[in-house]
Amino acid sequence: MSDTHEVEVRRIAMLRFGAYAVVLASLMGLGLFFASGVRSAESWSWFALMSLGGIVGAVWSIRRALGSDAEAVLWEGNDPHVVEPDSSAGPAPEEAALADVLLSGIDGDVNESQREDLEIIRASGIRLRILLDTALDLSQLAGGELRLDADRADVRELVARVAVEAAQLWSNKRTAGCTLPEGPCITDVDEARLRRSILVLADFLATDHRDADIGLSLVLSDDHIAIEVTAEPSDRQTLGAIPTPAEVLASEDATEIRRWPVAVTSEVIARHQGSLYHGSAPSRFLIRLPLGGTR
């Protein structure tokens, strides 16, 4: 094995290890927090800040690895080049955003091996952000402090954005089909939380039905909006029953961490004066939202 190839293998291993280690450490931290009975919003805020600090550190190391190509790797006979960091760019962005910048090619060409690693990094960043936001919302629900930041929004555009983000979450190994009406679907929603909720449900189905096609659809009626997330073909339900935040908080089973986002999603939709249903054949989630305000 040549020295260049060995360097490339070590670089890829470091990138993948860094991405997985950040997610694993966050999962362990969340499990320890709940096992020790931590419920205060202040404690969760400190945990989120420390986790983001860890992400920034991991991204800094990864960016240095990607920027060392001139010294380490000759890419398939092309002249090596060094990507100089932009000192005017300000503070380092979060992991998923930085991966987007590198994937865009702004800082230089990206080969297939780098692209695969960057997509893994971006996916782990999205997943970590979902877990942190879910944990913070769960803490606020426990303290009765969760309030929606609702405003007028086009749910049609929101669902289309979820389809794109779902593919990023799955490192472009899978995609989510999207069926949308022609006209806008305007109502009052907490756009960030609703978008995360739909993404959580799509990812839950994708994880439970690995060979199924995931689809998103939006239907507008006179008094409500219906958003359906399906996994087809599938002949069984993903959940026996949709969990509640109270059930998740009361559980001492570490495996329940996978159900936290679904529990929070159910409550977020209820705060929108909507409802969440779950069915089978195919396995699906159905969100119904009123064409009106939230509370």
Residues 6 or more apart whose Cβ sits within 8 Å of residue 74: 4, 80
Residues 171, 137 within the same domain: no
Q: How many CA atoms lie within 13 A of 90 on its CB side?
A: 3
Q: For the residues 131-148, what does the mean pLDDT come to?
A: 89
- Is 2's pLDDT higher than 70? no
38 in a domain, yes or no?
Answer: yes
Q: For the residues 41-68, what does the mean pLDDT come to?
A: 56
Q: For the residues 11-15, what does the mean pLDDT come to?
A: 55
Please give the DSSP secondary-structure letter assigned to residue 238: S
Residues 10, 28 within the same domain: yes
- Is 148's pLDDT higher than 90? yes
- Is 58's pLDDT higher than 60? no
Q: What pLDDT was estimated at residue 92?
A: 35
Neighbours of 233 (CB within 10 A): 12
Q: What's the chain's length in residues?
A: 295
- Crossing angle of helices 112-142 and 95-103, in 10° steps, is 150
Q: For the residues 281-291, what does the mean pLDDT come to?
A: 93
By residue range, what is the domain housing residue 101? 3-142
CB 157 within 8 A of CB 278: no
Q: What pLDDT was estimated at residue 165?
A: 94
Closest CA to 276 of 228, 207, 238: 228
Lowest mean pLDDT across 67-71, 118-122, 145-149, 229-233:
67-71
- Is 30's pLDDT higher than 80? no
Domain termination residue (choose one: 96, 121, 142):
142
Q: For the residues 218-243, what does the mean pLDDT come to?
A: 90
CB 213 within 8 A of CB 231: yes
Angle, CA 273 vertex, CA 267 and CA 275 arms, to 5°: 60
Residues 22, 138 within the same domain: yes
Average pLDDT, the chain: 75
Q: What pLDDT was estimated at residue 83?
A: 33
Residues 172, 137 within the same domain: no
Question: Cα–Cα distance between 230 and 218 in angstroms, integer?
Answer: 12
Q: What pLDDT was estimated at residue 68?
A: 43
Question: Cα–Cα distance between 105 and 238 in angstroms, integer?
Answer: 39
* Buried-state track 84-99, b at ≥16 Cβ within 10 A, e below 16: eeeeeeeeebebbebb
Residues 133, 7 within the same domain: yes
Domain termination residue (choose one: 108, 142, 176):
142
- Is 75's pLDDT higher than 60? no
The residue ranking higher by pLDDT, 252 or 154, is: 154
Q: What pLDDT was estimated at residue 104?
A: 57
Neighbours of 160 (CB within 10 A): 15
295 in a domain, yes or no?
Answer: no
Q: For the chain, what percent of residues have pLDDT higher than 70? A: 61
Q: How many domains does the chain have?
A: 2
Residues 6 or more apart whose Cβ sits within 8 Å of residue 253: none
Residues 13, 132 within the same domain: yes
Residues 38, 108 within the same domain: yes
pLDDT band at residue 143 using 50, 70 and 90 as cut-offs: confident
Amino acid identity of residue 259, one-letter, is R
Closest CA to 142 of 256, 29, 250, 262: 250
**Which tokens belong to 158?**
């929101």
Q: For the residues 253-264, what does the mean pLDDT come to?
A: 81
- Is 88's pLDDT higher than 50? no
- Is 99's pLDDT higher than 60? yes
Supply the CATH number for residue 172's domain. Answer: 3.30.565.10
Residues 202, 257 within the same domain: yes
**Which tokens belong to 60?**
């800094």
Residues 138, 203 within the same domain: no
CB 52 within 8 A of CB 95: no
pLDDT band at residue 222 using 50, 70 and 90 as cut-offs: confident
Q: What pLDDT was estimated at residue 114?
A: 75
Q: For the residues 139-143, what does the mean pLDDT come to?
A: 88
